[in-house]
Amino acid sequence: MNKHAPIRAALYARYSTDKQNPKSIDDQLYECRVRARREGWEVIDEYVDRAMSSAVNDRPGYVRLLEDIEKGKFEIVLSESMDRISRDNLDIAYLWKLVEHHGVEIHTLDQGKMDFIRVAFAGIVGTMFLKALAEKTRRGQAGKVRDGENPGGVAYGYRVPVGPDGLRIPGALEIVPEEAAIVRRILTEYAQGKSPLKIAAQLNEEGIPAPRPRKKQPVGHWRQNTLNGNVSRGTGILNNELYVGKRVWNRLRYSKDPKTRKRTSRLNAPDAWQVCDVPDLRIVDDALWDAVKARQRAHALARGLIDSTDRNGLSASQGLRRRTYLVSGLLECGCCGGKMTIAGSGKSKRYYCANAKEKGPAVCQGMPGLLQSVAETTIIVGLQHELMQPAAYERFRKQMARHLKTMGNTGDDERKHYLRLISVKETARENIMAAVRRGLVDDEAIAEANGLVEELKQLRAKLDTLAPKTIELPETLPQMWQDYVANLVSVLAREPIAGRAGDTLHQLVERVVVLPHPEKRRAHVLEIWGDIVAMFIAADPDRRAGYDASSCSLKLVAGVGFEPTTFRL
């Protein structure tokens, strides 16, 4: 470097948020220019970041500054103070290693030339400042929630109101009527069986503005995830409890990943959440909200029963999308046990074994395709006219009665054993209590009596589990089932709620096994297996608790004597 050439300097200025005065940038740069002129330095470039936190290391001006340090464009970096450049100790440590390696000095207006000690101390002080600021911010937000105010952020359907003076009212929210109508529409359509994917597509087709996008993102469109969000985190249109007049705060905690340097969130334990009622912000009623939650729980349960074929588990979720075809997902190949998939167009659409079609004859020889219309009609007819016929149901009732009697006999000996133990323990406790009344016992005996109370509680609880589960199977259940299915079939023809009815159909039918006909070349045999517990509950919901409690016994007896309905087509 030419000894007579002026020392080249780069200036850096920054302010934190859009609430601060943007002119502070001009003030910082002016003071830095004055210092550079007094020192005889030549200002090569100026680097600026507006409304950006010092905790962020991907600031455009800061990134460009680091790149030019590596290029050797200057010998000095001058800023108002180190906390303008960064407050993160890891970033400051990296910056110090970079400037030392390239022979660049750091100068600040408040401390002059920075050395290792000063830079390290600035990093510690900066990190402490950020931590204290986060704690104060969190404390302030908690106070707002306790006072019934909004701690920050504005969800779709709401806005910050403006007061008589034309200024926004901090901590307040009000409902936006046109957005609230969209929220009610989304939740209603989802509860009726429409998929989030189709709801979002329809909203985009109608040109309805999507929720406000995040910073740095262009104006977006409705997406499936805008609705789905995350159930446990309370994100997404379908999970925001503010819509039912309940504000939940402190559900998440945030920290910066030291590896990626990105801000990440983790779920707090429910007992750390701060929940308060805000009835003036309610948009939907409890009945609609409960219907949405019920469908989400059903999907979550079904997702757990579906084996994913990809490492991300996406195939399981895809199986839960709104079904294009009524019986998709129910049909199994009787030759290999694989699922059957639909192919073709128009009226010639047919179901084929997916293994035979995609993996070849080494896995499954396959069979002729089963017409979609034939499959749907046969399953509906089977539900309506074949499953739970009176004669078969009567045989089932008798088998169930014998099963319950056997269970009672088997458990008698064990129940007698526990009854004897309870009698012995009760006698021992009564003896101690009699001695207590006469004043003949010490603290150790009283402690023994208390222990006996706990033992008796456990023994009685065990005895209760051994009581035979009784269930009353009404004689009229077949007729109740016929009436229920007739109503279901009529609902399937009504488009607005056909999706929900289709979900119900899938709950009633456990599976449909498709086999090639043993005699006819292009014909099939269909075995329709009904879910016995779901069928009973659907036909007789008043006895749901009893059916749920005896589900194991019901399924066991059904497996023995409640044969599937078989059709030879």
* Whether the Cβ atoms of residue 246 and residue 252 lie closer than 8 Å to each other: no
Cα 233-267-314 angle, rounded to 5 deg: 55
DSSP label at residue 171? T
Closest-CA residue to 281 (of 243, 248, 240, 249) = 243
Neighbours of 234 (CB within 10 A): 17
Q: How does pLDDT run across 495-537, given as a tens digit for each residue?
A: 555 556 667 778 888 888 999 988 888 888 888 888 888 888 8
Buried b (16+ CB within 10 A) or exposed e, 22-59: eebbeebbeebbebbeeeebebbebbbbbebbbbebeb
Q: How does pLDDT run across 161-174, given as a tens digit for each residue?
A: 888 888 888 878 89
Nearest-angstrom CA–CA distance, 411 and 73 = 88
Give the CA count within 13 Å in the CB-facing half-sphere of 206: 11
DSSP structure string for 175-223: E-HHHHHHHHHHHHHHHTT--HHHHHHHHHHTTPPPSPPPTTS------
**Residue keyed to tokens 């045999």:** 525
Q: How does pLDDT run across 252-303, given as a tens digit for each residue?
A: 776 766 666 676 777 778 777 777 888 888 999 988 898 888 888 877 765 5
Buried b (16+ CB within 10 A) or exposed e, 321-347: ebbeebbbbbbbbbbbebbbbbeeeee
For the chain, which residues make up each domain, given as ranges? Answer: 8-133, 158-210+223-295, 323-409+470-569, 410-466
Give the CA count within 13 Å in the CB-facing half-sphere of 165: 3
DSSP bridge partners of 230: 235
Neighbours of 10 (CB within 10 A): 24
Nearest-angstrom CA–CA distance, 26 and 22 = 8
pTM above 0.75, yes or no: no
Question: Could you confirm whether domain 158-210+223-295 is CATH 3.90.1750?
Answer: yes
Question: What string of pLDDT tens digits covers the 569 residues of the chain?
Answer: 455 678 999 999 998 864 455 568 899 999 999 999 999 999 999 999 988 887 788 889 999 999 999 999 999 999 999 989 988 888 888 899 999 999 999 999 989 999 988 888 887 887 777 777 767 766 776 677 676 777 777 889 999 888 888 888 887 889 999 999 999 999 998 888 888 888 888 888 888 888 876 554 445 688 888 898 888 888 889 999 889 988 887 777 767 666 666 767 777 787 777 778 888 889 999 888 988 888 888 777 655 544 444 444 444 444 444 456 778 788 999 998 888 888 888 778 899 998 888 777 777 888 999 998 888 888 888 877 777 778 878 888 888 777 676 655 544 555 666 677 788 888 888 877 777 777 766 677 777 777 888 888 887 777 666 555 566 788 888 888 888 888 877 766 565 555 566 677 788 888 889 999 888 888 888 888 888 888 888 888 887 777 776 776 677 677 656 667 777 76
The count of residues in the chain is 569
DSSP bridge partners of 235: 230
Closest-CA residue to 239 (of 297, 176, 323, 315) = 297
Q: Residue by residue, what is the 3-state secondary structure of 248-295?
A: EECCEEEEECCCCCCEEEEECCHHHCEEEECHHHCCCCHHHHHHHHHH
DSSP structure string for 382-397: IIIIITT-HHHHHHHH
Nearest-angstrom CA–CA distance, 191 and 193 = 5
Choose which CATH entry (3.40.50.300, 1.10.10.60, 3.40.50.1390, 3.40.50.2300) describes domain 8-133.
3.40.50.1390
* Whether the Cβ atoms of residue 52 and residue 125 lie closer than 8 Å to each other: no
Buried b (16+ CB within 10 A) or exposed e, 414-423: eeeebeeebe
* pLDDT above 90: percentage of residues in the chain: 18
Q: Measuring CA to CA, how many Å separate 439 from each of 425, 434, 448, 491?
A: 21, 9, 16, 75
**Residue keyed to tokens 């995350």:** 230
Which tokens go with 24?
């502070």
Give the CA count within 13 Å in the CB-facing half-sphere of 299: 23
Nearest-angstrom CA–CA distance, 58 and 63 = 6
